[in-house]
């Protein structure tokens, strides 16, 4: 199949490279000239493990190319994917669909013959109808089928997620698209990945339901973690205790500083807006967002209280800035609110992240960046683990003990066992690892 991929960001570039690897001929198109120029020089504009090799192989094989031009590749394509951004709209939190609609207009001007136009971007229910309307209005004679095919890949594991998805959801309104989409995904289908055909609206809403559920699951365990701290229980053991129940499942039950990233915050909010507009509010998700929003600054307060309530003039070493490991993505990362709250309290923040420092420089002020965990820990009053990069999983605590000003580790990802750290003479604060004695019910205490 000939595929045009509009938008060459985290999703478009990974999807484009993987489709090319399946044997399709793919042209990735982007408005950002610098991005396309870099790709044409063989440079990958984002950090995603394995992507550089995959892109290089498929470019070399002549199946993958990059351009800023729409006309030729779109006219040639059997299938055009829209994978542009859908960020939160400033002011009201609805998904900003201006990039999707602009792409739809441009595609309409160039399509030739029957073409399947697939929205891969995460878009609110009903967007496919509008994309179709815009395209027919722009060029009434176009022969198109507009399809919804949301993407479920995770940054950091994007290639394996794309190549071995739990499921592929495809929403169609025109039966002709079924055959084309089956052909596009044939290699995965043969590999037994379930290909779920639904209506277009069902498919669009499935993506939001999935992300909102995961955001809720994380928020649930975060609240249980807070309770653990009050009653002297361990959230790690509770996660295991409930996660082994097949009805619950162990994934997304890691307590931490709150969810962030380029998807959960904006998608949860957009779902709330859609639900409100349709007089069917999703209160669970409204509450999830409210809890998560306050959690990030609460994490900074955890650091402040571990330093006896005062961080003014203190040096805080922050390990990890990106919203999760194995990506350079800083969008809505918990580190942003945590660092800002620490700075508001007068702390001097030093930070190190294997991939996120460039993006962080553009988003946060007054941080001193270092070259390693030990570089920023020199003389620090606290070491705060914000993102669980693998290289932070085996820190040399003996060395840290000799270079830090004060032996305090605040582990917001529960990377370490408390005793393991305390053994080296550190004070350790984790998430949901209650050490206070169990609250004894009043009646029993009296006996």
Ligand X SMILES: NC(=O)c1ccc[n+]([C@@H]2O[C@H](COP(=O)([O-])OP(=O)(O)OC[C@H]3O[C@@H](n4cnc5c(N)ncnc54)[C@H](O)[C@@H]3O)[C@@H](O)[C@H]2O)c1
Among 3, 4, 6, 311, binds ligand X (CB under 6 A): 6
Examine residue 9 and tell whether it contacts ligand X (CB under 6 A): yes
Number of residues this chain uses to bind ligand X (CB under 6 A): 26
Distance CA(58)–CA(149), nearest Å, equals 23
**Dist CA 328 CA 321 (whole Å):** 9
Q: By CB under 6 A, is residue 288 in contact with ligand X?
A: no
Q: Nearest approach, Cβ of 54 to ligand X (angstroms)?
A: 16
Q: Is 165 in the site for ligand X (CB under 6 A)?
A: no
Q: In this structure, what DSSP letter does residue 28 have? A: E
| CA dist list (Å): 319 to 161, 252, 303, 350, 410 | 27, 22, 13, 9, 10
Q: Is 32 in the site for ligand X (CB under 6 A)?
A: yes
18 flagged as catalytic = no
The three-class DSSP label of residue 344 is helix
Q: Residue 103, interface with ligand X (CB under 6 A)?
A: yes
Helix (H, G, I), strand (E, B) or coil at 441: coil
Supply the minimum distance, in Å, between the C-beta of residue 150 and ligand X.
Answer: 7
* 7/434 with CB nearer ligand X: 7
What does the block give as tokens for 248? Answer: 């619950």
Tokens of 371: 């070259």
3-state secondary structure of 281: coil
Orientation of helix 334-344 relative to helix 283-306, angle to 10° = 40
Q: Which of 4, 74, 83, 342 binds ligand X (CB under 6 A)?
A: 83
Applying CB under 6 A, which part among 95-103, 177-185, 214-222, 270-278 lies near ligand X? 95-103
Which residue number, 10 or 392, has a Cβ lying nearer to ligand X?
10
Q: Which run of H or of E encompasses 384? A: strand 382-385
| 8 A C-beta contact, residue 291 and residue 223 | yes
Q: How far is the CB of 230 from ligand X (least distance, A)?
A: 34
Q: Note whether 29 binds ligand X by CB under 6 A.
A: yes
User: Which residues within the stretch 117-146 sit at the binding site for ligand X (CB under 6 A)?
Assistant: 121-122
Distance CA 250, CA 233 (A): 18
85 counts as binding ligand X under rule CB under 6 A: yes
Under the criterion CB under 6 A, does residue 292 sit at the interface with ligand X?
A: no
Instruction: Identify which of residues 153 and 216 has a Cβ nearer to ligand X in the complex.
Output: 153
Strands (E), 143-255: 144-148, 168-171, 195-198
Between CA 282 and CA 276 the distance in angstroms is 8
CA distances in angstroms from 322 to 47, 240, 332, listed in the order given: 11, 26, 9
Question: Which residue, 28 or 306, is less far from ligand X as judged by CB?
Answer: 28
**Span of 78-86, 133-141, 175-183, 352-360 interacting with ligand X by CB under 6 A:** 78-86
One of 31, 136, 217, 273 touching ligand X (CB under 6 A): 31
Residue 315 in contact with ligand X, rule: CB under 6 A: no
Question: CB-hemisphere CA count at 13 Å for 106?
Answer: 24
Residue 11 as a binder of ligand X (CB under 6 A): the answer is: yes
Determine, following the binding rule CB under 6 A, whether residue 171 of this chain makes contact with ligand X: no
What is the nearest approach in angstroms of ligand X to the Cβ of residue 244?
Answer: 28
Catalytic residue IDs? 263
- What residues make contact with ligand X under the rule CB under 6 A? 6-12, 29-32, 35, 83-86, 99, 102-103, 121-122, 151, 153, 155, 262-263
């Amino acid at each position: 199949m000939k595929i045009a991929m509009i938008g060459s960001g985290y999703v478009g570039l990974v999807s484009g490279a993987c489709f090319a690897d399946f044997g399709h001929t793919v042209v990735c198109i982007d408005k950002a000239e610098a991005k396309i120029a870099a790709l044409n020089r063989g440079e990958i504009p984002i950090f995603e493990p394995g992507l550089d090799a995959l892109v290089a192989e498929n470019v070399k094989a002549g199946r993958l190319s990059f351009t800023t031009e729409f006309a030729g590749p779109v006219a040639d394509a059997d299938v055009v994917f829209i994978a542009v951004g859908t960020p939160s709209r400033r002011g009201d939190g609805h998904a900003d669909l201006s990039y999707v609609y602009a792409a739809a207009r441009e595609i309409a001007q160039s399509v030739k013959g029957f073409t399947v136009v697939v929205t891969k971007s995460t878009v609110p229910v009903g967007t496919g109808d509008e994309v179709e309307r815009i395209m027919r209005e722009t060029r009434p004679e176009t022969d198109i089928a507009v399809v919804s095919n949301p993407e479920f890949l995770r940054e950091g594991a994007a290639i394996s997620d794309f190549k071995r998805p739990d499921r592929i959801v495809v929403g169609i309104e025109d039966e002709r698209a079924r055959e084309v989409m089956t052909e596009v995904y044939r290699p995965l289908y043969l590999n037994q990945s379930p290909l779920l055909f639904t209506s277009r609206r069902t498919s669009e809403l499935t993506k939001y339901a999935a992300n909102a559920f995961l955001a809720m699951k994380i928020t649930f365990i975060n609240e249980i973690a807070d309770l653990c701290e009050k009653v002297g229980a361990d959230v790690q053991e509770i996660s295991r205790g409930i996660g082994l129940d097949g009805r619950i499942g162990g994934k997304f039950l890691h307590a931490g500083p709150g969810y962030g990233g380029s998807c959960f915050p904006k998608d949860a909010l957009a779902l709330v807006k859609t639900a409100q507009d349709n007089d069917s509010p999703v209160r669970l998700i409204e509450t999830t967002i409210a809890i998560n929003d306050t959690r990030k600054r609460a994490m900074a307060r955890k650091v402040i209280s571990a330093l006896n309530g005062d961080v003014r003039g203190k040096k805080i070493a922050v390990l990890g800035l990106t919203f999760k490991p194995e990506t350079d993505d800083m969008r809505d990362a918990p580190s942003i609110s945590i660092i800002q709250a620490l700075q508001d309290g007068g702390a001097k923040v030093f930070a190190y992240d294997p991939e996120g420092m460039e993006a962080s420089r553009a988003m946060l002020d007054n941080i001193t960046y270092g070259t390693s965990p030990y570089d920023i820990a020199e003389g620090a009053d606290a070491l705060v683990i914000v993102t669980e990069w693998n290289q932070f999983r085996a820190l040399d605590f003996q060395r840290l003990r000799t270079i830090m000003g004060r032996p305090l580790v605040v582990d917001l990802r529960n990377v370490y066992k408390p005793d393991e750290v305390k053994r080296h003479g550190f004070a350790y604060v984790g998430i949901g690892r209650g050490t206070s004695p169990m609250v004894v019910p009043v009646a029993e205490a009296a006996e």
